[in-house]
Structure 1
Amino acid sequence: MVRKTIMTAALVALALSAAGCNTVRGVGDDLESAADAVDEET
């Protein structure tokens, strides 16, 4: 039963991450931009 629940949660997480791929990519770009700005300040 626990294994089935974990598998279901993993599949849901995979589906959500695939659906939000563009959003996640945008967040990654924002984080990279922020990291570059911090690097330039130091």
Structure 2
Amino acid sequence: MLQKIATVLIVGAALATAACNTVRGAARDVNSVANCTENAINGGNC
């Protein structure tokens, strides 16, 4: 029983870490697009 609980906790922690990295990467992508758009509006390049 203890082994099953430990396995569930380890898998849950791994999934939480992967999700956090995915959200962080998505935020960087959105920020990059926003910066590019702002530069284009101001007459610059991406």
Report if TM-score (shorter chain) is over 0.5: yes
Structure 1 unmatched runs, 5+: 1-14
Moved beyond 2 Å, runs of 4+: none
Structure 2 unmatched runs, 5+: 1-13
Paired residues in the alignment total 26
Instruction: Report percent identity of matched pairs.
Output: 8
Q: Which has the higher helix share?
A: 1
Give CA deviations for 1:19-38 in whole Å, capped at 9, x if unaligned. Answer: 10000000000000000000
Q: CA RMSD in A?
A: 1.9
Kindly name which structure, 1 or 2, has the bigger radius of gyration based on alpha carbons: 2
